[in-house]
Amino acid sequence: MSTSTKKIQRKVRWNWDSLQTRTVIFNKARPLKLLKLSGYRKLRLILRKRRMIKTSQTNLSSCAAWWEPNGSLPSTSDKVLRERLLTINEPVVIVEDGGSQSLASGGVTRLGETVVKEKGFPIVGYAHPIAPGLLGDPSFCRDYGLRYPYVSGAMANGIGSADIVEEMGNAGMLGFFGAAGLPLGLIETAIDRITKSLEDKPYGFNLIHSPNEPELENAIVALYLDRGVRLVEASAYLGLTLPVIRYRVSGIHQDSTGRIVTPNRIIAKVSRIEVASKFLAPPPEPMLNQLVAAGDITLDQARLASKIPVAQDITVEADSGGHTDNQQAVTLLPTMTALRDRLQAEHNYEVQLRVGAGGGVATPASAAAFFSMGAAYIVTGTINQCSIEAGTSDTVREMLAQAQQADITMAPAADMFEMGVQVQVLKRGTMFAMRGARLYDIYRSCDGLDSIPLAERSVLEKTIFRAPLETIWEQTKAFFQDRDPAQVTRAESDKKHRMALVFRWYLGQSSNWANTGEPSRKIDYQIWCGPAMGAFNEWVKGTFLEDYQNRKVATIAFNILYGTAVQLRLNSLKNQGVSISGGTCTIQPRPVAEIKEYFE
């Protein structure tokens, strides 16, 4: 290179560096003809016209990746870029070409080089392939025998049906049967069916906190232990109970290498740090002593139990349907992951604690957000209730498919009515929430059924119960004589408790009416629902999933996982400064046949 050429090169680089916007690469194959330059702008136009420079948003010294074409030049087509983004098993390489960002196809990518051949293009964005099975924490899938870190949470009264559990298990995901609210006989029937159909594939059952019926919780745990149910989803717990600890530590032992083996595992749904702290800690010593005294475990098993967490996995339950504290995921999940890290360091467990996320998972964007925040797995609930496999009626499915973001409210919970606990339900098309709230107000202000003002009582019997309250009490008494006789004994001497049981009759029946599709009681349907339902409906609008009859639980799951991979690739490119048009960013559900190749 001549002295004059070097001077021009230095001048150009000085101008570039002073602007801090561009670098220059000379095309060595075409010698620069010396010209009398009138200024920086003229030189730039000449160099660009002669195709002797490429532009980059970074200095040459800091550009560590280059792409060299092999037959095809970069494309600026949004359609081509969209197709590449949707092909999640291939990388996306964005280069800068003449001041614009373009998609590179084929060719050779060189990393860690600051000098490149004349036809090289600086890489300004890269999105790697994403396999849905590698989202979250791989150890979660490995420990539970899953292919994908996706869980269908339990929905009470069998809404989380055997059909859902089987569909999820056969798809390489995890489903929990909604045992809460069901009699032992129906739970045992579900165990028979699921264990036979899935065999060694993953599945789990729900274990719900029953503060008003402790004997029922104890009986369900005994059933699970007797039938070999090895995984439960613990939900609605306000604190630890003896039955849940008994389930966890039963059969604990050491293998030949000295490793602690716990046959029974718990995934706990939590929304409060004080509850999460108890599940991530070892079982309380007093409870272990009680189990030893009762002969449920040995002293050696109690010693081993003091070295394990009650639950290795907790699901952060944000603003969900049913039991919820309406917590915000963006603050709740980081709080729980910090707690996880602190307790892991404090107890030095052999296993690593994990935190998953649920409550609001309805679209690829929400799932991608949870995974980006460090969730080991995701849990869906409300959106599965409108699937064709859910244990509910077509009327409910249709109502859920029409729900919008604001069509939800809080109402009294049947299982914790006296405590004032609430659940999140659908308010569009039903008066359940309003009527349930009225019953709770009366419960608080009256000492018993006899003290309800006559005018108020007449309205209750005519509109809500549609029968005399004495008749409802007789039905309620017959129900609890079989389910939990202690409740009847208490109600005979406690008028306020009797009133609570009668009012709980309505709260419990309202869910049954919804599940069976009782047409005369549609106005009283209790449909557990979170804001995720509105988000899901908006996402699928105009696609094949808008029709609830096409909503299979596995189809929903595959589309959320696939869309999550696409969303993460989009986010990665945007975070590198790549500009992507709005239409290119749209992720719509697709038939499973079109995305099946990414799950094989």
Which pLDDT value is given to residue 120? 82
Dist. CA 515–CA 157, nearest whole Å: 8
Q: Return the axis-axis angle of helices 364-372 and 532-540, rounded to nearest 10°.
A: 120
The CA angle 309-312-315, to the nearest 5 degrees, is: 125
DSSP string spanning 544-591? GGGSGGG--HHHHHHHHHHHHHHHHHHHHHHHTT----TGGG------
Locus of tokens 């389910």: 483
* Alpha carbons within 13 A on the beta-carbon side of 230: 14
Longest pairwise C-alpha distance within the chain: 108
Grouping H, G, I as helix, E, B as strand and the rest as coil, residue 424 is strand
Grouping H, G, I as helix, E, B as strand and the rest as coil, residue 207 is strand
Whats the size of the chain, residue-wise?
600
Yes or no: say if 163 and 391 are a contact pair by the CB < 8 Å rule.
yes
Which DSSP state fits 534?
Answer: H
Which pLDDT value is given to residue 62? 53
For the sheet with 322-323, list strands across it. 322-323, 422-426, 408-412
Yes or no: say if 492 and 371 are a contact pair by the CB < 8 Å rule.
no
Yes or no: say if 246 and 291 are a contact pair by the CB < 8 Å rule.
yes
From first to last of its 600 residues, what are the pLDDT tens digits of the chain? 444 444 333 333 333 333 333 333 333 333 333 333 334 344 334 334 433 333 334 444 456 788 888 878 888 888 999 999 999 999 999 998 877 889 998 888 887 766 555 678 889 999 999 999 999 999 999 999 999 999 999 999 999 999 999 999 999 999 999 999 899 999 999 999 999 999 999 999 999 998 888 889 999 999 999 999 999 999 999 999 999 999 999 999 999 999 999 999 999 999 999 999 999 999 999 999 999 999 999 999 999 999 999 999 999 998 888 888 788 889 999 999 999 999 999 999 999 999 999 999 999 999 999 999 999 999 999 999 999 999 999 999 999 999 998 999 999 998 889 999 999 999 999 999 999 999 999 999 999 999 999 999 999 999 999 999 999 999 999 999 988 899 999 999 999 999 999 999 999 999 999 999 999 999 999 999 999 999 999 999 999 999 999 999 999 999 999 999 999 999 999 999 998 887 778 899 999 999 999 998
Which pLDDT value is given to residue 273? 96
Cα(first)–Cα(last) distance of the chain, in Å? Answer: 56
The two three-digit tokens of residue 256, written as one number: 């030949």
Which pLDDT value is given to residue 15? 34
Dist. CA 208–CA 244, nearest whole Å: 10
Grouping H, G, I as helix, E, B as strand and the rest as coil, residue 123 is strand
DSSP 3-state percent helix, strand, coil across the chain (nearest 5): 50, 15, 40
Contacts with 442 (C-beta within 8 Å, 6 or more apart), sequence order: 452, 456, 460, 503
Which pLDDT value is given to residue 350? 94
Locus of tokens 């849940």: 244
Contacts with 417 (C-beta within 8 Å, 6 or more apart), sequence order: 440, 443, 500, 503, 504, 507
Which pLDDT value is given to residue 115? 58
Dist. CA 338–CA 265, nearest whole Å: 22
In the chain, what are the domains?
A: 1-53 (no CATH), 58-129 (no CATH), 133-392 (3.20.20.70), 408-526 (no CATH)
Query: Does the global pTM surpass 0.85?
Result: yes
The CA angle 272-275-277, to the nearest 5 degrees, is: 105
Q: Virtual CA dihedral for 3, 7, 8, 13, nearest 10 degrees? A: 130
The two three-digit tokens of residue 211, written as one number: 């503060």
